[in-house]
Amino acid sequence: MSRKLFGTDGVRGTANVYPMTADMALKLGAAAGRYFRRDGSAAHRVVIGKDTRLSGYMFETALTAGFTSTGMNVFLLGPVPTPAVGMLTTSLRADVGVMISASHNPHQDNGIKFFGPDGFKLSDEAEMEIEALVEEGVEPAQALNIGRAKRIDDGRFRYNERVKATLPGGRRFDGLKVVIDCANGAAYKTAPEVLWELGAEIIPIGVNPTGTNINEKCGSTSTRLAAETVVAHGADVGICLDGDADRVIIVDEKGQVADGDQIMALLAARWAGEGRLARGTLVASVMSNLGLERFLTGRGLVLERAAVGDRYVVERMREGGFNLGGEQSGHIVMTDYATTGDGLLAALHFLAALADEGRPASEMVHQFDPIPQMLKNVRYSAGSMPLDADNVRKVIADAEARLTGSGRLLIRKSGTEPLIRVMAECEDEALLARVVDDIVGAVQAAV
C-alpha cells in the first residue's frame, strides 16, 4: 500500500482543501484512536497541541471529536512547541500525541503530526495502518464509552522546566543580550519566558500572533528582521525559531546567519571533547553540506546520513544508538533530552557554549567553510511526474557525470509541498550554477 495522506512529517496541506479538511481531521482522529485502542482496554489518552494558525481551532475540534468518538480521552494543550507534545505524551502517560502545525509553511497551510506513547514520531508502517483505517472507516464507541476532553493549562510550564533542567550546573545567561524571534508561532510565550528566567536580557520579536502572521517575514526561514534587530540593539546573538519551534537558526552579533550544519558541528565537537558524543557519530540528512562531513572527519568523527526529515534522522539515531543529529534547516535532535527536533533546547545549549567560551557568536558559529551549495525549487501540479520525463532523466545523468569527483547532486520531491528540490554542491561555483540551472530548466519544461 502506498501512502496517500502522510508525507515526510505527518499530513500537511492548505487548510480546507483535501486532505487538510475538518472531515479528514475527524477521520484521522477516529482512525488513530482505534489504532491505539486495539487492546480494547479503558482509560486511553491522547495529547493534542497546536501552533497559532487560525485553522488550528478547526482541526483541534475535529480531532477531538474523532478521538472521543472511539473512546479516547483528550488532553488539550493549546499553543505549545512540537517537542512539548512529544515530552508531554510520555509525561501524561498518553497513548498518542498530536501536533497541529505546518511548521515553517505560511499560515494558510496546516498539518497533523502523530507521536507514539514513547514520545517519538510514528513509523511509516504505523502511518500506513492509520491510513488503512481511514479508508476502511472506524466503528465508533458505544454511547457510554465516548471519551472526554480536558484542557491542560500548565503544559507549556512543564515543558519550560524540562528544557531548563537540561543545562548543567545551574547555568545562567546573565550578561547576554539575546534577540529571540518566535515567528509568531507556538513558542511565542515559551521561549521568551525561558530565556528571561535564565537571566538573559531579551529582545523579543515575532511574539504577537494573529492567526495569519505565523512565519510571515520572521522566524527561521526569514531571518532579515532578526539580523537587523541584533545589529540595531548591539545584541550578542539572535535566535530564530520556526512556527512550531522544532528548528532553530542562529544570527551572530554581526547579523550573519548560521544554519543547522554549523550548530551541529559546534555541538558535536564539544560533546566529543567531553566524551558525550555517542559512538563518535553525528547523524544528519542528505542535505547537510560536504563541509560538515569534512569537519567531522578531520576530528576523527563520523557523519551518518539519513533521508530528509527529522523523523528519519531520529530513526537512524535510535537504530545506531547515537545521541546527536539534525538537519541543515535547523532541526537539532538531542535524544538524551528530547524525542524530536527542539529549537529552544538547541538554542539553550548553544548559549551555554557561548557563555562557557566567552568568544563572540561569529566565531562560535563558523566551525567550517561550507562547500558552495545551491538549492532551487520547481513547483509542479498535482498528478504530474516531471522527474520521470526522458529529457529530465538525461539532463540529470549528464549533470552527475559533470560533477563526478568534484561535488554531489541531490534531487527529490518535497514531502511537505508540491515542489521538486534541486540541490548540488561543488567547489567550482560556475559549474555548480550551470548544473542546477540546466536541471531546473528541464524540470520546468516537463512541468
The catalytic residues are 103
| CA nearest to 368, candidates 440, 299, 414 | 299
The residue to which cell 566551525 is assigned: 367
Residue 373's identity, in one-letter code, is Q
Cα R_g (the chain), whole angstroms: 22
Handedness of CA 200, 203, 207, 212 (dihedral sign): negative
Q: What is the three-class DSSP state of 90?
A: helix
CA–CA gap between residue 367 and residue 261 (Å, rounded): 9
Strands (DSSP E) contained in 268-343 are 281-285, 302-306, 324-326, 332-334
Give the three cell numbers for residue 332.
537539532
Give the three cell numbers for residue 265.
558541528
Say how many C-beta atoms besides its own lie within 10 A of residue 390's C-beta. 8
**Within the chain, what is the greatest distance between any pair of CA atoms?**
69
The residue to which cell 571533547 is assigned: 273
CA–CA gap between residue 442 and residue 445 (Å, rounded): 5
Contact call for residues 110 and 53 (beta carbons, < 8 A): yes
179 forms bridges with which residues in the sheet? 203, 238
